[in-house]
Amino acid sequence: QMLEEVIAALQPKVLKNRRILITAGPTFEPIDPVRGITNRSSGKMGYAIARAAREAGASVTLISGPTALDTPYHVNRVDVMTAIEMRDAVMSHISHQDIFISVAAVADWRVANASDQKIKKNKNGDTPTLEFTENPDILASIAALPDPPYCVGFAAESEKLRQHAEEKRRKKGIPLLVGNIGHETFGKDDNTLILFDDTGTLELPHGSKQLLARQLIEQIAKRL
Amino acid sequence: QMLEEVIAALQPKVLKNRRILITAGPTFEPIDPVRGITNRSSGKMGYAIARAAREAGASVTLISGPTALDTPYHVNRVDVMTAIEMRDAVMSHISHQDIFISVAAVADWRVANASDQKIKKNKNGDTPTLEFTENPDILASIAALPDPPYCVGFAAESEKLRQHAEEKRRKKGIPLLVGNIGHETFGKDDNTLILFDDTGTLELPHGSKQLLARQLIEQIAKRL
């Protein structure tokens, strides 16, 4: 914590007096009391951005799905499990925020027929069938608010990153979308980021997630 | 590690010269390159048992699904993701083992129609359908070997624990099955265990997973 404080003190205060809301990690969508659907997101990128935003002087709230990470120093963390819980937590913290960064890998679907009891194997070898319901698009809902904060999205695509990312940015109606190299980065400590905005694309050089997080915060600060 | 060494040195060496194979944690069954089905197992109980077995003088191999836990000191750890990978790792380490403890929360089913590419939302709001295939029963396969090690299973049931656990023990053909209070214990540091064997049931008093792990190891050593 001493070291974190020293590092924080040395960073340029480009987000001084700004309030920033960040989502991070996966969501967990229950199938039954013990099983659920999740994804390979470790939460590292979102936590690194929360840390960088705080180093840059911002007041940071982090809405986090289940991760094994420590809360960055001086960051207000709210834990959630499902996409619906994350949406509710975001909505209840969104007022007076200057920036919203949606880094969490929110499940596109939840299980429509989740069971109250653990689903058991039966002797006939029958297998369960899962039906899905689409989850709310948290980022698009925030971007569609009457007076939205500056909205930043993340895209992790396993194919045609550039095309999907720009499509996604326009569909969600957000000024900045950050693409990464998809599932290859999950759990890793470094990453490559590509920024998509109205002016085109900007590729940040490959580096540690913490270094990239600082560069991203600088880029966001420039655009406010 | 110094402290772990001191604690280990003080434990009775009830498993001296014994070889023990333990599985722990959840498995992760891919839906596509980023999503998958998992469960709430944190791996804490299995890791505590691995630590206790090593403290008791055993040579310990731990086959672990994805967890955020540190490897216990002097334990040989093998990481896997899926039930099939866990089965293969267990099979390749099973010879010359004296004891096999299956603590992992292995997925009963894997996704039969997993996708090579990330499944995307489409404009019609169509939702995917998941088909399942039953996974191999690792513990039953080991118990059915010609000269099996002493086999211990775990049961986490959300209803009628006592009835299901005894049923499970007989179906798998194992001498000892350990029941716990199901999903209420996931991720927690303490637990309650009930032992089911031919002589009946034995309830270990509620305590930390590490304390219970030591008591379980004592109980197993008595039964060899």
| Low-confidence stretches of chain B (pLDDT beneath 50) | 182-183
| Among the ranges given (A11-20, A29-38, A114-123, B132-141), the one the predictor scored with the smallest mean pLDDT | A114-123
Tell me the DSSP string of B48-91. HHHHHHHHTT-EEEEEE-S--PPPPTT-EEEE--SHHHHHHHHH
- SS (HEC) of A41-92: CCCHHHHHHHHHHHHCCCEEEEEECCCCCCCCCCCEEEECCCHHHHHHHHHH
Q: Strand A190-197 relative to strand A200-208: parallel, antiparallel, unpaired?
A: antiparallel
Residue of A nearest to B106 (CA): A35
Catalytic residue annotation of B: 39
pLDDT number for residue A206: 84
User: Which of A34, A40, A105 has the CB atom closest to B156's CB atom?
Assistant: A34
Name the packing angle between helices B2-10 and B44-55 (round to 10°).
Answer: 60
Residue B192 Cα, gap to closest chain A Cα (Å): 17
pLDDT > 80? residue A38: yes
* A125 — pLDDT class (breaks 50, 70, 90): confident
User: Which of B36, B156, B186 has the CB atom closest to A38's CB atom?
Assistant: B36
Q: Kindly report, residue by residue over B69-108, the tens digit of the pLDDT.
A: 999 999 999 999 999 999 999 999 999 999 999 999 999 9
A58 interfacial to chain B (CB closer than 8 Å): no
Q: Are the Cβ atoms of A37 and B37 closer than 8 angstroms?
A: yes
The residues, ordered by sequence, that sit 6+ positions from A44 with a Cβ below 8 Å of its Cβ are: A69, A187, A188, A189, A209
What values do phi and psi take at B219, rounded to 5?
-60, -40
Residue B194 DSSP SS3 = strand
pLDDT number for residue A158: 56
Q: Which residues on chain A are in Cβ contact (under 8 Å) with B40? A: 34-36
pLDDT > 80? residue A1: no
pLDDT > 60? residue A223: yes
Q: 């292995």: which residue's tokens?
A: B106
pLDDT > 80? residue A203: yes
Q: Strand B132-134 relative to strand B150-156: parallel, antiparallel, unpaired?
A: unpaired
Residue of B nearest to A70 (CA): B68
- Does this model's pTM top 0.90? My answer is no
Q: Are the Cβ atoms of A130 and B129 closer than 8 angstroms?
A: yes
pLDDT > 70? residue A159: no
Q: Kindly report, residue by residue over A84-104, the tens digit of the pLDDT.
A: 999 999 999 999 999 999 999
* A82 — pLDDT class (breaks 50, 70, 90): very high
Q: How far is CA A38 from the centre of its chain?
A: 14
Whether this model's ipTM surpasses 0.90 comes out as no
Is residue A76 part of the annotated active site? The answer reads no
The Cα B67–Cα B46 span in angstroms is: 11
The Cα A51–Cα A63 span in angstroms is: 13
The Cα A118–Cα B160 span in angstroms is: 11
* A157 — pLDDT class (breaks 50, 70, 90): low
The Cα B106–Cα A8 span in angstroms is: 43
pLDDT number for residue A101: 98
Q: Which residues on chain A are in Cβ contact (under 8 Å) with B183? A: 33-34, 118
User: Which of A40, A68, A134 has the CB atom closest to B34's CB atom?
Assistant: A40
Q: Which residues on chain A are in Cβ contact (under 8 Å) with B112? A: 127
Q: Kindly report, residue by residue over A144-153, the tens digit of the pLDDT.
A: 999 999 999 9
Residue B204 Cα, gap to closest chain A Cα (Å): 23
Residue B129 pairs in a beta bridge with: none
Q: Kindly report, residue by residue over B184-206, the tens digit of the pLDDT.
A: 666 777 788 899 999 999 988 88
pLDDT > 60? residue A183: no
A109 interfacial to chain B (CB closer than 8 Å): yes
pLDDT > 80? residue A138: yes
Q: Are the Cβ atoms of B129 and A127 closer than 8 angstroms?
A: no
